[in-house]
């Protein structure tokens, strides 16, 4: 592997204009990550405001109007501008490296997606600067509440346009991912040797293709209703209020799998490295990913069980079935750790936290797949607890695992381990203290999206505990920011492979050169870098 033929490339420039015109997947990935983390900071502060308001009943930290905007922007940002784009950004950086390619299939389209994502998010938040404020109907923006007769402000229209931009950007990115993974693999990198993360991104991309058009249609209908005299959701004119929900959740449920499958991929990359074993059940993990993706297209109306107008048993049955491939993944991860040698570095701690938290979210998910249970839990804080355990305890923890694991590769800087561990424990404790009590407050009768609640029973205490937990989480995030500052100042050089990694991104420098690879190791398994390190174990 002595290729020294320099590819004919134009040099990459390091100034602002260079970053504004970049089509390099690594830079685009970093732009996505930085932007999504900025939106995370904003959405997180919105959550702190929400928790501060809810610390006591009849609190007056914010008005009801402000509160509606707080939870709308918090949910919208976390879902559309943080969790999903972070995964897309990470995949942008990693996929070409993991398959031994020089860039994505469509570099300019890739960059266009990023800018549309940035502008879409800004458009949503721009609503806050209008007369009536930002959209205030929840991230689900149900009609008829979001129709022009009731939601008269421009904020709702800006929300529609902003989310539409983000949706188109997401679809274009998915096209790039699938094409790149199918076409640009290095010699020897068969589909059954690509890393699990790349497989999960292919499944995620399929979900994006199938789900986002439904959202786009819903948004277009609402826009026409609001601005061009349409009545799609207005029963007085023959429209149907449930239509919004069907179209929304046909997108919305696959969307939550778009927000978790990449992170299943993240933990599937990190756990084996820090257990010093190969990933257990590679084939099972791949099949499970597609089983989850496929089944997730058939469960949308489990968000509508309480309408009394959908075929509950169908959706309940398919929702229960999704638990099976998810369980398969869990057992694969545990089997990877089993009889391994487990290094409790920060990325691994976050993965273990992911497993512990996501398990509880998965269990409550199976519970609410049962309509009679959902009749009580729906739109209560039990649901808020469930969704945050899977998205916060799950995806967010995997986000931090990914940051600590791939930061050296991206920036050539290793994040401080001690601060990393402090960050983990603050987040783990803070997260569970915030969200576990919500199972109980939900069952006790606290509804969702309320700016205050009656001082019945344990509700005041449960809410106060949750608020305290949220401040602990804030502290954890601040420790992370401090870690970044400290580590960047210290700037110890980072080798190609600081962790003992397995996949091809660890076969090049940290950070990689513009064209990614000067040479590639031979590819005979899903762990080419491990094989190169241990030739005595590689099959002939």
Of residues 289 and 403, the one with the C-beta less far from other proteins: 289
Q: How far is the CB of 462 from other proteins (least distance, A)?
A: 14
Q: How far is the CB of 526 from other proteins (least distance, A)?
A: 9
Position 359 contacts other proteins (CB under 8 A): yes
Position 443 contacts other proteins (CB under 8 A): yes
CA–CA dist 389, 368 (Å, integer): 14
- Of 4-23, which residues contact other proteins (CB under 8 A)? 5-13, 18, 20-23
Position 116 contacts other proteins (CB under 8 A): yes
Position 311 contacts other proteins (CB under 8 A): yes
User: Which residue in 68, 44, 84, 213 sits closest to 127, CA to CA?
Assistant: 68
Length of the chain: 540
Choosing from 134, 135, 328, 413, the residue that interacts with other proteins (CB under 8 A) is 328
Output b/e per residue, 231-264; b: 16+ Cβ within 10 A: bbbbeeeebebbebbbbbbbbbbbbbbbbbbbbb
Q: How far is the CB of 523 from other proteins (least distance, A)?
A: 7
Residue 107 burial (CB count, 10 A): 18
Choosing from 309, 429, 464, 494, the residue that interacts with other proteins (CB under 8 A) is 309
Choosing from 93, 164, 397, 506, the residue that interacts with other proteins (CB under 8 A) is 164
Of residues 43 and 206, the one with the C-beta less far from other proteins: 206
Segment near other proteins (CB under 8 A), from 35-43, 89-97, 332-340, 418-426? 332-340
The encoded tokens of residue 287 equal 């099949």
Q: Is the peptide bond before 511 cis (omega within 30 degrees of 0)?
A: yes
Crossing angle of helices 397-411 and 417-443, rounded to 10°: 160
The encoded tokens of residue 154 equal 């421009």
Query: How many residues belong to the site for other proteins (CB under 8 A)?
Result: 171
Position 481 contacts other proteins (CB under 8 A): no
Q: How far is the CB of 514 from other proteins (least distance, A)?
A: 6
Position 24 contacts other proteins (CB under 8 A): yes
Q: How far is the CB of 119 from other proteins (least distance, A)?
A: 4
Local structure of residue 13 (DSSP, 8 states): P
Segment near other proteins (CB under 8 A), from 105-113, 396-404, 427-435, 470-478? 105-113
- Of 382-441, which residues contact other proteins (CB under 8 A)? none
Of residues 234 and 468, the one with the C-beta less far from other proteins: 234
Four-CA torsion 460, 466, 471, 476, nearest 10 degrees: 170
Binding mask 508-527 for other proteins (x = CB under 8 A): ------xxxxxxx-xx----
Torsion sign over Cα 54, 384, 226, 158: positive
The encoded tokens of residue 484 equal 């970044």
Give 56's strand partners. none
Position 540 contacts other proteins (CB under 8 A): no
Contacts of 99 (CB under 8 A, 6+ apart): 180, 181, 184, 185, 186, 189, 194, 198, 504
Q: How far is the CB of 91 from other proteins (least distance, A)?
A: 17
Choosing from 380, 434, 487, 503, the residue that interacts with other proteins (CB under 8 A) is 380
Of residues 129 and 486, the one with the C-beta less far from other proteins: 129
Position 205 contacts other proteins (CB under 8 A): no
Position 498 contacts other proteins (CB under 8 A): no
- Of 137-156, which residues contact other proteins (CB under 8 A)? 137-138, 142, 144-145, 150, 154
- Of 261-290, which residues contact other proteins (CB under 8 A)? 275-284, 290
CA–CA dist 13, 490 (Å, integer): 25
Q: How far is the CB of 100 from other proteins (least distance, A)?
A: 8
- Of 453-472, which residues contact other proteins (CB under 8 A)? 453-454, 456
Of residues 129 and 478, the one with the C-beta less far from other proteins: 129
Position 3 contacts other proteins (CB under 8 A): yes
Choosing from 55, 68, 232, 422, the residue that interacts with other proteins (CB under 8 A) is 68
- Of 84-103, which residues contact other proteins (CB under 8 A)? 99-100, 102-103
Position 129 contacts other proteins (CB under 8 A): no
Q: How far is the CB of 28 from other proteins (least distance, A)?
A: 9
Output b/e per residue, 39-67; b: 16+ Cβ within 10 A: bbebbbebbbbbbebbbbeeeebbeeebb
CA–CA dist 373, 369 (Å, integer): 8
Choosing from 123, 268, 296, 470, the residue that interacts with other proteins (CB under 8 A) is 123
Long-range contacts of the stretch 356-360 (C-beta < 8 A, 24+):
356/393, 357/389, 357/392, 357/393, 357/394, 357/397, 357/428, 357/431, 357/432, 358/260, 358/389, 358/390, 358/393, 358/394, 358/397, 359/330, 360/389, 360/393
CA–CA dist 479, 485 (Å, integer): 10
DSSP letter string, 106-128: -HHHHHHHHHHHHHHHHHHHHGG
């Amino acid at each position: 592997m002595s290729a020294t033929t320099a590819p004919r490339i134009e040099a990459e420039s390091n100034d602002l204009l260079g970053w504004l015109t970049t089509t390099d997947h690594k830079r685009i990935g970093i732009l996505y990550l930085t932007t999504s983390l900025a939106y995370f900071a904003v959405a997180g502060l919105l959550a702190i405001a929400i928790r501060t308001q809810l610390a006591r009943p009849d609190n007056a930290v914010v008005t009801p109007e402000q509160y509606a905007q707080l939870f709308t922007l918090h949910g919208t940002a976390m879902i559309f501008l943080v969790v999903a784009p972070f995964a897309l950004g990470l995949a942008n950086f990693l996929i070409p490296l993991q398959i031994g390619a020089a860039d994505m299939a469509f570099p300019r389209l890739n960059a266009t997606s990023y800018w549309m994502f940035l502008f879409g998010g800004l458009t949503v938040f721009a609503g806050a600067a209008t007369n009536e404020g930002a959209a205030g109907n929840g991230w689900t923006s149900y009609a008829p509440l979001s129709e022009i007769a009731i939601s008269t402000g421009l904020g709702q229209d800006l929300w529609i346009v902003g989310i539409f931009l983000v949706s188109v950007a997401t679809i274009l990115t998915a096209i790039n991912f699938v094409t790149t993974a199918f076409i640009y693999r290095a010699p020897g990198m068969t589909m059954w040797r690509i890393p699990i993360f790349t497989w999960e991104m292919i499944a995620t991309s399929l979900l994006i293709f199938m789900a986002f058009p439904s959202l786009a249609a819903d948004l277009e209908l609402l826009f026409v209703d609001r601005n061009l005299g349409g009545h799609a959701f207005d029963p007085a004119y023959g429209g149907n209020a449930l239509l919004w929900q069907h179209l929304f959740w046909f997108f919305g449920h696959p969307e939550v799998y778009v927000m978790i499958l990449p992170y299943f991929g993240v933990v599937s990359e990190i756990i084996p490295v820090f257990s010093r074993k190969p990933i257990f059940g590679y084939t099972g993990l791949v099949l499970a990913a597609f089983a989850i993706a496929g089944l997730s297209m058939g469960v949308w109306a489990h968000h509508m069980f309480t309408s009394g107008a959908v075929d509950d048993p169908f959706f309940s049955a398919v929702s229960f079935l999704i638990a099976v491939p998810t369980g398969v993944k869990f057992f694969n991860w545990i089997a990877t750790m089993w009889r391994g040698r487990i290094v409790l570095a920060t990325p691994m701690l976050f993965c273990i936290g992911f497993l512990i938290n996501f398990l509880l979210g998965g269990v409550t998910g199976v519970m609410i797949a049962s309509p009679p249970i959902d009749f009580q839990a729906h739109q209560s804080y039990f649901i808020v607890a469930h969704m945050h355990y899977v998205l916060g305890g799950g995806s967010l923890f995997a986000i931090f695992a990914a940051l600590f694991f791939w930061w050296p590769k991206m920036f050539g800087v290793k994040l401080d381990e001690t601060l990393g561990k402090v960050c983990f424990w603050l987040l783990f404790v803070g997260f569970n203290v915030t969200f576990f009590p919500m199972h109980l407050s939900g069952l006790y009768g606290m509804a969702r999206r309320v700016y205050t609640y009656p001082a019945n029973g344990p509700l005041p205490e449960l809410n106060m505990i949750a608020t305290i937990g949220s401040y602990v989480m804030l502290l954890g995030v601040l420790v992370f920011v401090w870690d970044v500052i400290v580590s960047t100042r210290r700037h110890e050089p980072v080798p190609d492979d600081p962790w003992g990694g397995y996949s091809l991104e660890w076969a090049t420098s940290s950070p990689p050169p513009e064209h990614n690879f000067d040479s590639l190791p031979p590819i005979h398994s899903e762990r080419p870098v491990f094989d190169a390190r241990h030739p005595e174990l590689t099959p002939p």
